[in-house]
Amino acid sequence: MANPSASSNYSIVTQQELDHILSIPRENSTGAISQREPPEPLQIWADFVAMAPPFIAYYGAIHQDQSLLQLAYDQIAAYRTLLLDADVGLLQHIVLGGGTGSPPTDSGHWSTGNAWFLTGLLRVERTIFLSSFRNVMVAQRGTLLEWALELTGAAWTYQTSSGFLYNYIDCAALGQINSTTCFEDSAGTALLAAGTFRLAQILHSWSRTPYSFKGMTRAPNVQAAEQARQYIVNHVDSTTGILSPIVNPLDWTSQLQGGGASPEGQAFILMLQAAYRDWWSLTGGYY
């Protein structure tokens, strides 16, 4: 998609994919595109924000279509409206739907879902920034960063002294801790730390003065992200490279057992290391 003129086949399939996404039913009050497709009921997942909005935004940037960049932003706004638990500043995992043939709803603040939301939000912000519309969409970029700051600030409040987050970020604080449904989770911890380092990198380069966004003098929550990174480093098997303990990627309510690997968890290690590398290269490790 980065070079749509190079292959008509790629151009055709990306256009078809966009058309398909835009044809999926939407929630009436916000216009949020459903995560699930008919015949399943309309449903809203935090994970969606890392999937569709970055694709829509990138397509818009490549084809010089500001309306698609705006649509990507609008989808994030719509999902935030539907998922945000304003009492704690965290996002619910799954709302609406939940009928026959559809996954159940999940009002919990699933760490990986919150991290996916942050990941997609930042990708859309950077796509707008790198597009020809960066100067006419400053307000949208600023709002996205405000939401990212809100989310990371809320999430890291629940970081343990060991550096990890629970699979449901605030489950221990709610007195729900146990070995089967409320447990330490390297996956959500790694991806949220990756997003926090990316956010710090963006804030550092917002203008000619580092961390000048909203009068900041430093990037918040980087120390928490660094503590999480050290936790992740210490929980990667030196022989196999497998990260643990980790949520089961095929059952978000349980912990993966038997020494198995999570494909997305393994990917989160790389995303965290890349984000940390880029942040360090830009800032020299200055918080």
Domain boundaries, the chain: 1-125, 158-287
- pLDDT greater than 90 at residue 156: yes
Q: In the prediction, which pLDDT does 69 show?
A: 99
pTM over 0.75: yes
Q: In the prediction, which pLDDT does 68 show?
A: 98
Rounded to the nearest integer, the mean pLDDT of the chain is: 91
Give the three-class secondary structure for 120. helix
In the predicted model, what is the mean pLDDT of residues 112-123? 98
In the predicted model, what is the mean pLDDT of residues 181-198? 96
The tokens for 273 are 């290391």
In the predicted model, what is the mean pLDDT of residues 262-279? 96
Q: In the prediction, which pLDDT does 249 show?
A: 85
In the predicted model, what is the mean pLDDT of residues 149-158? 97
Q: Per-residue confidence at 1, pLDDT binned at 50, 70, 90?
A: low
Residues 128 and 143 sit within 8 Å (Cβ to Cβ): no
Q: In the prediction, which pLDDT does 133 show?
A: 98
CA-based max dimension of the chain: 56
In the predicted model, what is the mean pLDDT of residues 262-273? 95
Q: In the prediction, which pLDDT does 252 show?
A: 83
- pLDDT greater than 70 at residue 47: yes
> Based on the number of CB atoms within 10 Å of its own CB, is 8 exposed (0-12), middle (13-18) or buried (19 or more)?
exposed
Q: In the prediction, which pLDDT does 251 show?
A: 86
% pLDDT > 90, the chain: 74
54: left (phi over 0), alpha (psi -120 to 50) or beta: alpha
Q: Which residue has the tokens 């796509």?
A: 127
